[in-house]
Chains A and B, each alone.
Chain A
Amino acid sequence: MTWYAALGAVEQGLVYGIMVIGVYLTFRILDFPDLTVDGSLPLGASISAVAITHGINPYLSLVIALAGGFLAGMVTAVLNTKFKILHLLASILTMIALYSINIRIMSGPNVALLGQKTVFDAVIRLGVPSHLAGLVIFALFALVVLTFIIWFLGSEIGQAILAVGDNPQMIRSLGVNTHTIIILGVGLSNGLVALSGALVAQNQGAADVGMGIGTIVAGLASVIIGETLFGCTTIARAFIAALLGSVVYRLAIALALGLEFGGFRFNPSDLNLITAVLVISALIAPNLKKRLIAR
């Protein structure tokens, strides 16, 4: 792996890390497996791209994207809590609907951002070399999101969110409306995923309706890698691990794509297989370790 490829992987790891933080919130904290993210990532990208091409400030476009993702998450959560649709199914329904909505937003399957203003302009103007601008911006955003989520989960509402995932009956008997909390939590999660999608679109210079495929798998892979490598004993540690897990995941993918055995090379289309193998090995590693130690 070249230094340049590694840099790109870290960059990707950080920007998708924001998505992974969102996935951790639903998957682990709320115990709500949420596939909406496959739709809300491109939703954030489309909103941001369309906003920018309409002359809206790129930073402001991120806020709108976040709000759009939040709404999408709320739809899934309302379907689940108020209408008793199974969480997985509710999220698949929202995801499918978002496919059409995203094409509507972009008036087509994609929007290019060539020559448009982006959030990277500001740091480039400050003298950061353009190939590092992504890294700087993404690290900044990832840190802000990470700090916010850890702070938020330490608040009174945040503690209630943790309790809903842990023991819904108990927290209901303490006067918390679990439906409201789930709607808030899944909304927030998808808001972060959309923010991640918006930043990705600005970085790669286009939003595309297909860019969300496999988001949840990449998210879960990162979550599991993070937990396995860095642990999850406290909330702060768990979220830091999720972000780092995302970086390790992207590095591992870059490494795998750069491998060469004689005449054989991996194609980008082999990514899904690599991801599956990664997740499986991360899942069985603790078990394997225990057995080896026992011997």
Chain B
Amino acid sequence: MISLEGIVKYFHKGSVNEVFALDNIDLQIDEGDFVTVIGSNGAGKSTLLNCIAGVFFPDSGKIIINQQDVTGWPEYKRAKLISRVFQDPLLGTCPSATIEQNMALASLRGKRRGLGRGVKGRDRDKFREELRHLGLGLDARLLDKVGLLSGGQRQALTMLMATMLKPDVLLLDEHIAALDPKTANQILQLTQEIIDQGKLTTLMITHNMNHAIRFGNRLIMLHQGSILLDLRGEEKANLTVRDLLAEFYKTQGEELALDSLLLG
């Protein structure tokens, strides 16, 4: 489904601020895989997702999605294959447009836009039905501006919008990190339901090791631009936070003992 071959990415190449963000990443993700991605700050998680999404191009390497070489495709062109949900709930929706207008924009993801009406009467019932599934009461607020919604409601709407048209790849960039714990759990649950229902190929970045273990069928740990751990199936199922922390601190050259004392 997704195949990354030798992805290398520098930032500010050739200047004093040069950062080596991705170091020759090779990664194969199969159809229907739900991969959780962890790693400390600066490990290259977001860079990896942004490379796949086409926000910037890798310095070398190849990105293949669904047998198509998309390495040279700009971001807007890759939208045909990829859906994204950002960390900032404000980034996924248009605040001054209504809920139905936002959904109509998303229903044309990667498609040609013409002079037909932006929001069509026949779509409205479909939108309302999909909103009802969220159970947030948004189905009665189709004409409300999205700027009036809370962060959690906006992120739920963004999840819905990202998956209305089934994407070949769903990218979640810490999409619950900016929410309060209760809302975060709701959105996470919704995420799981949507992914299960559509059998979506997903990459989800998270800072929460519990989530990384509990969700998905595969776990990747990045460190300094390389893949340090890649666990799936049984291996992943038997993983504990303690194991992960041990791996995590190995990379920092520290002993776990001290931290386990601190963490109780």
Contact = CB atoms under 8 A, between A and B. Distances in A.
- Whether A and B are associated in the same complex: the answer reads yes
A173 B92 CA distance: 9
A269 interface: no
B53 A160 contact: no
A162 B97 contact: yes
A172 B95 contact: no
Contacts of B90: 167
A104 B101 CA distance: 46
Given A160-B105, A176-B113, A166 B94 contact: yes
Interface in A155-183: 155-160, 162-163, 166-167, 169-178
Interface residues of B, number: 34
Contact of B115 (A156, A162, A169, A176): A156
Contact of B76 (A154, A159, A178): A178
Contacts of A171: 94, 105
A169 B91 contact: yes
A188 to B, nearest CB: 13
A166 B97 contact: yes
Contacts of B110: 174-175
Contact of A159 (B53, B101, B109): B101
Interface in A61-116: none
Interface in B61-94: 74-77, 79-80, 82-84, 86, 90-94
Given A155-B117, A156-B114, A175 B109 contact: yes
A13 B82 CA distance: 48
B40 interface: no
A31 to B, nearest CB: 11
B111 interface: yes
B95 A175 contact: no
A162 B114 CA distance: 14
Nearest to A171: B105
Contact of A175 (B76, B91, B94, B96): B76
A175 B111 contact: yes
A175 B79 CA distance: 5
Contacts of A166: 94-97
B222 interface: no
B94 A155 contact: no
A163 B111 contact: no
A154 B84 CA distance: 25
A159 B97 contact: yes
27 contacts: A154-B117, A155-B118, A156-B104, A156-B113, A157-B113, A157-B114, A159-B97, A160-B105, A162-B94, A162-B101, A167-B90, A167-B95, A169-B91, A170-B91, A171-B94, A171-B105, A173-B82, A173-B83, A173-B84, A174-B79, A174-B106, A174-B110, A175-B77, A175-B108, A176-B76, A176-B113, A177-B74
Interface of B: 53, 74-77, 79-80, 82-84, 86, 90-97, 101, 104-106, 108-111, 113-119
Q: Which 5 A-B pairs have the closest CB atoms?
A: A175-B79, A159-B118, A175-B110, A156-B113, A166-B94
Given A162-B101, A172-B79, A174-B106, 15 more contacts: A154-B118, A156-B116, A156-B117, A157-B115, A159-B118, A159-B119, A160-B105, A160-B113, A162-B94, A166-B94, A170-B94, A173-B82, A174-B105, A174-B110, A175-B109
Interface of A: 152, 154-160, 162-163, 166-167, 169-178
